[in-house]
Chain A
Amino acid sequence: MGKMKNLLLMTLLVLSSFSISAKQILLGPNSNSQEEIQEALIDLEPGDILTLEPGEYFFEDGISLDVNDVIFEGSGIDNTILDFGDQVSGAQGLLVTSDGVTLRDFAVLDAKGDAIKVIGADGISMIRLKTEWTGGPKETNGAYGFYPVESKDVLIDGCVAIGASDAGIYVGQSQNIIVKNSVAQYNVAGIEIENSYYADVFDNLASHNTGGILVFDLPDLPQQGGHHVRVFRNKAINNDTDNFAPEGNIVGEVPRGTGIIIQANSDIEVFDNDIYGNGTVNLSIVTYGYETEDENYNPHPKSIQIHNNRFGDGGFDPDVGTGELAAILFELSDGDMPDIFWDGILPMNQMLFGQPDDERLVISNNGDATFLTLNPIKYLLPFFDPVERDIKEYDGEVRPLPEVILN
């Protein structure tokens, strides 16, 4: 009896937290879908669900959602298709600017700019969605498939991202992030976490991109100093697509055949991943390579832990024509490319006097993975070989990072 009462009370609470008149709106495809769907998205009220029936929906303009706590859903990524191939205005296919939104079960195809952009959301769930540029990897494809930025409590679960000319799944300047069970293929970057705090990236497949999984941090931005990112149980494999990013973009520097790159950032833990089939290098840890006058920016990666990963073949087809990384590495290694590369660049005082223990790079239990780093002091002096390949030097105790829990 008491249980029953509790259940009833809970139901009431749930109901009253939304507007009493929460409703589901069902729309099917027709010649006026653009206006009909946009108007429905504007007229939604918190608690409402907008459901698109199976079918193809064609758009000339981007559509947008600015109502909190609603669900916008289709009937499956192969059934409900939002086609932006004839788009003439709007910088993205779908734009979300409100909080607590769930998007699920539809596909966004051939947007002229980004496919799904979410800006400034407090809570956004993207579940079983697909973004794709259907003409294959092309410089004229939009930059991002999934593009949450300046958001909190971001969930990307069971999504598919194909063909983005920058990153398939890109989370920028956000915090509290989970990207899981997703597939990123034929993008320049498969999955990219940039200038973000507290992200868990796991159980994803990143393959046939230029680079599989990127954790980056850039200067001169409102949120920087990315930290606490866990990358685990992913497959970063067979990333073999030529870099097709328009020049000028940071991912344009990523060589074809990169499994995982960590650039700048602190407190990154990469573990239990399968990383193989990447023709340039399976994993690199690098410093931000450009000059910046931003005094608040730390270009060096620190407190990075790489452990218990399974490395397979890598470095068999270095892309020396893209960026500088592959060419430098090829030269340093004499063609014997490592699985794991660290550029060894540290702040000057640390190069001279060493790193604090808790900032040191830890590489443990990665099977027979090979390693290469550069001793920058020796690099500057004549007659010394700056290349160091002893991975055991970096063996150390792993201090696991906390799990990300979304609010």
Chain B
Amino acid sequence: MKKTSLLLSIVFSITSLYAVDNELILEKKFPKKLSDFHFFKDTHAQIPSKGVVPYELISSLFSDYSYKQRWVYVPEGRKASFRKDKVFDFPVGSALIKTFYYPIDERNLSLGKKLMETRLLLRKQNGWEAVSYAWNENQDEAIIKKAGKTILTDWIDFKGENRSVRYRVPNKNQCKECHSNNDAVMPIGPKARNLNKIYDYQDESINQLTKWMKLDYIDNIQIDLNTPVNWEDDNHSLEARVRSYLDINCGHCHISTGGANSTGLYLDLTESRPTHLGINKKPVATGRGSGGHEFSISPGKAEESILLYRMISTDPGVMMPESGRSLTHTEAIEMIEDWISSM
């Protein structure tokens, strides 16, 4: 009898070690260490705990060529509800976990990677809160960085060139600069439409939304969504690729409910009014961000379009997005150049 209860308590403590700390997600104060949440069985190797499920977005936001790994956690017995063209309404106690890293060498991913930071969005009682943890030198723990951090790092890109970056771990307020919708903190990625693709799970390859339904993370929904495309996949039309890229990179801020709504420039996937998409639209409070150009998008004239000028620039007083980028996204620039030229 005694033996059984001892065994049981050992089993229990081992499993609880691998279980996410539900209470910590809800607490007002953030713990100092990422591992305190128990999102991972193995912090360094980022092996997720039970209920922590990896996901990908169809197109993702450019963050200085860093790679991202994402996981979602929904507490047992609760569900996120579907909202068309919006992020799922996740229940209190949910967590979105995103680790940013650079491969040592993009040509050979097995050479390993350097973990930069893990950003968390935690669904607390009064709404979402954002915080970031920066990985230590040993790569076995990430430490909270409320005021942000600058990390100088480098990697070898897919052409074999050495690249270096002044990587910024955002401070708590900077998180809100992007993750702000109607003045509240809001996730950006996990809208149903951005998840509508096959993912190779350990046990099966299946549409992510179907998986979430099977897991009871969401109710059954019809998968006939206004789905963006992978902007890197040139099997899709140029128009679709560009709109998908602008949506995930700009549309969370440049939307009538977002932080940049005072500009009248709206770049989310659902926008259809030409002026608000920037076509022959004069700038409002752009200052030297205009680069001497008259319109956000001058059809046929990429080199005279403010939108492109600000995407190319790395000057903090000019560049877009305002934060989270210090390098130019050359591949996307080429695509948008083509798009404006073809108008």
Contact = CB atoms under 8 A, between A and B. Distances in A.
A370 B146 CA distance: 60
Interface stretch (B11-19, B117-125, B164-172, B225-233): B164-172
B323 A89 contact: yes
Contact of B173 (A95, A166, A170, A246): A95
Interface stretch (B35-43, B94-102, B104-112, B287-295): B287-295
Contact of A149 (B262, B281, B289, B318): B262
Contact of B262 (A42, A221, A246): A221
Nearest to A172: B285
A119 interface: yes
B148 to A, nearest CB: 7
A38 B306 contact: no
A39 B147 contact: yes
Interface string B273-309: 0011000011111111111111100000000001000
A123 to B, nearest CB: 14
Given A39-B147, A222-B261, A247-B293, A87 B316 contact: yes
Contacts of B262: 119, 149-150, 172-173, 221-223
A106 B171 CA distance: 23
A144 B174 CA distance: 20
Interface in B250-289: 256, 259, 261-264, 275-276, 281-289
Contact of A248 (B177, B276, B306, B319): B306
B281 A143 contact: no
Interface string B324-338: 001000000000000
Given A113-B317, A143-B289, A218 B183 contact: no
Contacts of A218: 282, 284
Contacts of A41: 173
Most buried by B among A113, A170, A290, A294: A113
A249 B287 contact: yes
A220 B276 contact: yes
Contact of B287 (A65, A90, A165, A173): A165
B176 interface: yes
A91 B323 contact: yes
A88 interface: yes
A102 to B, nearest CB: 18
Interface string A62-98: 1011100000000000000000000111110001010
Contact of A60 (B146, B150, B276, B288): B150
Contact of B294 (A64, A170, A245, A248): A248
B292 A246 contact: yes
B294 A294 contact: no
A147 interface: yes
B157 interface: no
Interface majority SS (helix, strand, loop, mixed), chain A: loop
Given A64-B173, A88-B316, A248-B293, A144 B275 contact: no
Contacts of A87: 316
Contacts of A113: 287, 289, 316-318, 322
Contact of B288 (A139, A221, A293): A139
Contacts of B261: 150, 222
Contacts of A143: 285-289, 317
A272 interface: no
A220 B276 CA distance: 7
Given A65-B173, A172-B262, A173-B262, A90 B288 contact: no
A98 to B, nearest CB: 9
Chain B interface: which size bin? 35 or more
B27 interface: no
A294 B275 contact: yes
B315 interface: yes
B146 to A, nearest CB: 5
B275 A220 contact: yes
Most buried by A among B166, B286, B291, B317: B317
B287 A166 contact: yes
A95 B172 CA distance: 13
B176 A142 contact: no
A377 interface: no
A120 B284 CA distance: 17
B171 A64 contact: yes
Nearest to A166: B287
A384 to B, nearest CB: 33
Interface in A103-131: 111-114, 119-120
Contacts of B282: 218, 248, 250, 290
A66 to B, nearest CB: 5
Interface in A137-162: 139-144, 147, 149-150
Contact of B147 (A35, A88, A119, A245): A35
A132 interface: no
A294 B274 CA distance: 12
A242 interface: no
Nearest to A89: B316
Nearest to B183: A120
Contacts of A112: 315-317
A108 to B, nearest CB: 13
A249 B290 contact: yes
A248 B172 contact: no
Interface of B: 146-148, 150, 166, 168, 171-174, 176-177, 180, 183, 256, 259, 261-264, 275-276, 281-295, 306, 315-319, 322-323, 326
23 contacts: A38-B147, A41-B173, A42-B147, A61-B168, A66-B172, A87-B316, A88-B316, A90-B323, A91-B316, A111-B317, A120-B183, A142-B288, A142-B317, A143-B287, A147-B285, A149-B285, A172-B285, A220-B264, A222-B262, A246-B290, A246-B291, A248-B282, A290-B282
